[in-house]
């Protein structure tokens, strides 16, 4: 499992002083983009090749609050890869307390920019396919 780290930004909180639930999707996306950059290739280079990776589903569980200025980690694990679809699981933890604040998953597909029909990465981009395949971790 790979780990991303940062702190809560003020604009991510609500009037109660905690991270608003809608911002967890952004936090997961930040972590996932860094994971792709580190393990596969720069996501911007994938986009230049015409590949985009939109979310098709997500599910998460809120366990505890993160507040402004809290430092946290997002553990990211690629658990499924078919060549057309991928699934990541996540755990968000408060660094100071070690407390699990959120866990969940997102599922994505590979599409061509402008077309939005799923594309088989294993046939069209075998070098990218091999990199994703090598990163799959069994749950």
> Residue 56 is inside which H or E element, if any?
strand 55-62
Cα torsion for 4, 71, 10, 18, to the nearest 10°?
100
CATH of domain 2-135: 3.10.129.10
Query: In the predicted model, what is the mean pLDDT of the chain?
Result: 96
- The pLDDT tens digits for 59-110 are 999 999 999 999 999 999 999 999 999 999 999 999 999 999 999 999 999 9
Contact 106, 32 (CB under 8 A): yes
**Is 7 strand, coil or helix?**
strand
3-state helix, strand, coil in the chain (%, to 5): 30, 40, 30
- The pLDDT tens digits for 38-52 are 999 999 999 999 999
Structural domain boundaries of the chain? 2-135
Closest to 86 in 3D by CA, of 60, 121, 62 = 121
């Amino acid at each position: 499992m790979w780990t991303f780290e940062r702190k809560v930004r003020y604009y991510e909180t609500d009037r109660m002083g905690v991270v608003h639930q809608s911002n967890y999707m952004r936090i997961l996306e930040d972590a996932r983009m860094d994971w792709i950059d580190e393990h596969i290739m720069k996501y911007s280079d994938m986009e230049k090749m015409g590949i985009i990776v939109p979310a098709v589903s997500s599910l998460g569980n809120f366990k505890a609050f993160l507040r402004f200025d809290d430092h946290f980690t997002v553990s990211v694990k690629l658990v499924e890869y078919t060549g057309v679809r991928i699934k990541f699981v996540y755990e968000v933890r408060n660094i100071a307390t070690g407390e699990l604040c959120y866990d969940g998953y997102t599922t994505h597909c590979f599409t061509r920019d402008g077309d939005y029909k799923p594309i088989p990465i294993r046939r069209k981009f075998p070098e990218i396919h091999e990199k994703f395949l090598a990163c799959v971790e069994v749950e």
